[in-house]
Amino acid sequence: MTASSMAESSMTGASSTGGLRRALATGAAAVALAGGVLFSTAATTSAEPRPDSDNVAIQQIDRGERCHAVHRHWTRVWHPAWRDRHGKRHPGYWTRVLHRAHMVCHKH
């Protein structure tokens, strides 16, 4: 502490708790900053794309079953004609549905 700050604190009647509060606030800010850096680093590493060998959906799993990977594919689905609550007829129509890659297992 400098002489002017000591004289000022004795004149205003302030005790040394102001310095303690400031030190605690600075320490808490440093801890929060360090925690934020660690959290952002962990989030960044977990957001990295996994290689295909780590893909759980098409990984070979041996549970006494014969498994094979079915790759993603499109199928056509027919939606039949229908009537709404007012009696209006809506014609049928086709849609395409994408099926993601997945494992198909058969017990042997």
For residue 55, which amino acid is it? Answer: N
- Nearest of 44, 105, 31 to residue 70 by alpha carbon: 105
User: What is this structure's pTM?
Assistant: 0.34
Q: What is the mean pLDDT of each run of 10 residues along the chain (108 residues)?
A: 55 64 79 66 56 54 73 95 96 95 83
Task: Give one DSSP letter per residue of 86-108, joined into a string.
Answer: T--EE--EEEEEEE--EEEEEE-
Taking the alpha carbons of 89, 93, 99, 105 in that order, is the dihedral positive or negative?
positive
What's the helix, strand, coil split of the chain in %, to 5?
Answer: 45, 30, 30
**Per-residue model confidence (pLDDT) at position 6:** 57
pLDDT attached to residue 28: 76
pLDDT at 24: 78
The answer to whether 59 and 105 have CB atoms below 8 angstroms apart is no
